[in-house]
C-alpha cells in the first residue's frame, strides 16, 4: 500500500487544478505509478510499471498524448510554490542541482532555463518541467541476496550494484544498509553504517530527519558531495560500512579507494549493464585495478524493477 499512499502524499504539493485531476485517477493506476511528469505546455503524464500514460482532464488514463490535460505555466508555478513554501530563492542551491526533496522522501526533478557564468551553472529560471518520483521502500528487498554478501563470520563484503537507470538500485542498497544496521542474529551482527547521500535519494532527509528507514545504527550525510562526504564519514564516523549511490567520476572512485584503504567496507552503485562495461570507463577501471569490491550485483528490469540477474563473487 506504500505506493498508493505515496501518490496521495504528493498531491498536496501540486496546483489545485492538477490535484483535482490526479485525484480522479483510478486507484489501480495510482498503485502502479512510479513518477508524475508535469511539463509546461505538454500533457500531464504518469510513468508506471507498464509504461507511460497520459491523464485527461477527467482523470482518465490515455495513450494518445493529445487527449491528455495540457499543463499550463500557472500549474507549474503554483506547484513549485507549494513545494518550496513560496520561497524558491531559499532552495536555489538545490534547484541548480536539479532536485527537491518532499516530506515522505519523494524526490522532485526540476529543470528549466539555465543561467551560466564563467562556464558554470549559477541559477535556473523559468522552471517548467517537474518530475515527481514517488519514494518506494521495499522492506526485505535485499533478503534473497544479502546472505551472499557477507562472509562466514557475518562481515559485510564490499559490494558494487551495477544497474541501468530505473532498475531499483537505490531501493536495493537502502535495504541492504537497513538490514546491516539492524543486524540479524545468527547471520550478521549490527554494522555501523554511514550513508553519503549526495542526491537525497537513499535517506531522503527532510529537515534533518531521514524519511526512509536506513536502520538504527546508520548516519546519513545528506547533500554532501561524494568526495567530501566520504572524507567526513571516514574522519568523523568510523563506520563499518560506507554506502553511496551512483559513482560517476574518477574522483568518486578515488574517494571509495580511500575508504577501502581505511578498512571500511563499501556498498555503492554505478550505472551500467555489466562489470565489463563499467571497467571501460576511467572510474570503473580504477575500482577494478584496486580490487575494491568482493561482490557484484547485476540488476535489470527483465521481470520488473529490481530483477537480480547475477550475484558475482570476485
Asked if 102 and 10 count as a contact pair (C-beta separation under 8 A), the reply is: yes
Q: What is the pLDDT of residues 32-69, one digit of tens each?
A: 898 999 999 999 999 998 899 999 999 999 999 999 99
If you classify domain 146-313 with CATH, what class do you get? alpha beta
* CA–CA gap between residue 228 and residue 220 (Å, rounded): 13
Q: What is the pLDDT of residue 121?
A: 64
Q: What is the pLDDT of residue 20?
A: 97
Asked if 259 and 127 count as a contact pair (C-beta separation under 8 A), the reply is: no
Total Cβ atoms within 10 A of residue 277: 13
Q: What is the pLDDT of residue 36?
A: 97
Average pLDDT for 131-151: 91
* CA–CA gap between residue 290 and residue 253 (Å, rounded): 10
Write the CA distances from 155 to 117, 147, 152, 182, 265, integer angstroms.
48, 10, 7, 13, 9
* CA–CA gap between residue 68 and residue 62 (Å, rounded): 7
Asked if 48 and 57 count as a contact pair (C-beta separation under 8 A), the reply is: no
* CA–CA gap between residue 309 and residue 54 (Å, rounded): 31
More confident of the two residues 86 and 211: 211
The domain segmentation of the chain, as residue ranges, is 2-133, 146-313
**Strand order across the beta sheet in which 241-247 lies:** 218-222, 193-197, 241-247, 265-271, 159-163, 295-300, 307-313
More confident of the two residues 123 and 19: 19
Q: What is the pLDDT of residue 88?
A: 65
Residues 6+ apart with CB under 8 A from 30: 3, 4, 7, 8
* CA–CA gap between residue 163 and residue 301 (Å, rounded): 9
Q: What is the pLDDT of residue 89?
A: 61
* CA–CA gap between residue 219 and residue 193 (Å, rounded): 6
Residue 2 has pLDDT above 60, yes or no: no
Residue 119 has pLDDT above 80, yes or no: no
Helices (H), 233-274: 250-261
* CA–CA gap between residue 284 and residue 256 (Å, rounded): 11
- Bridge partners of 76, per DSSP, are none
Distance from the Cα of residue 72 to its chain's centroid: 28
Q: 2-133 — its CATH code?
A: 3.30.450
Q: What is the pLDDT of residue 100?
A: 83
- Comparing 35-44, 87-96, 227-236, 295-304, the range with the smallest average pLDDT is 87-96
Q: What is the pTM of this model?
A: 0.79
Amino acid at each position: 500500500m506504500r505506493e498508493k499512499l505515496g501518490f496521495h502524499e504528493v498531491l498536496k504539493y501540486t496546483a489545485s487544478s492538477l490535484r483535482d485531476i490526479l485525484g480522479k485517477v483510478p486507484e489501480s493506476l495510482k498503485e502502479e505509478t512510479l513518477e508524475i511528469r508535469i511539463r509546461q505546455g505538454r500533457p500531464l503524464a504518469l510513468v508506471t510499471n507498464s509504461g507511460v500514460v497520459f491523464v485527461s482532464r477527467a482523470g482518465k488514463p490515455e495513450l494518445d498524448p493529445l487527449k491528455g490535460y495540457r499543463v499550463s505555466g500557472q500549474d507549474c508555478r503554483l506547484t513549485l510554490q507549494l513545494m518550496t513554501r513560496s520561497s524558491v530563492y531559499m532552495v536555489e542551491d538545490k534547484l541548480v542541482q536539479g532536485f527537491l526533496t518532499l516530506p515522505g522522501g519523494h524526490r522532485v526533478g526540476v529543470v528549466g532555463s539555465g543561467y551560466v557564468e564563467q562556464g558554470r551553472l549559477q541559477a535556473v529560471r523559468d522552471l517548467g518541467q517537474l518530475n515527481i518520483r514517488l519514494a518506494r521502500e521495499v522492506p526485505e528487498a535485499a533478503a534473497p541476496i544479502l546472505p551472499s554478501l557477507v562472509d562466514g563470520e557475518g562481515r559485510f563484503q564490499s559490494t558494487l550494484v551495477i544497474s541501468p537507470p530505473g532498475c531499483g538500485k537505490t531501493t536495493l542498497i537502502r535495504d541492504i544498509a537497513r538490514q546491516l544496521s539492524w543486524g540479524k542474529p545468527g547471520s550478521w551482527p549490527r554494522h555501523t553504517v554511514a550513508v553519503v547521500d549526495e542526491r537525497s535519494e537513499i535517506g531522503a532527509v527532510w529537515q534533518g530527519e531521514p524519511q526512509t528507514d536506513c536502520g538504527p545504527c546508520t548516519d546519513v550525510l545528506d547533500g554532501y558531495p561524494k568526495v567530501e562526504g566520504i572524507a567526513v564519514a571516514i574522519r568523523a564516523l568510523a563506520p563499518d560500512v560506507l554506502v553511496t549511490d551512483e559513482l560517476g567520476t574518477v574522483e568518486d572512485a578515488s574517494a571509495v579507494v580511500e575508504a577501502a584503504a581505511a578498512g571500511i567496507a563499501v556498498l555503492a552503485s554505478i550505472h551500467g549493464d555489466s562489470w565489463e562495461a563499467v571497467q571501460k570507463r576511467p572510474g570503473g577501471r580504477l575500482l577494478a585495478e584496486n580490487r575494491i569490491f568482493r561482490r557484484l550485483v547485476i540488476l535489470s528490469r527483465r521481470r520488473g524493477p529490481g530483477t537480480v540477474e547475477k550475484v558475482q563473487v570476485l
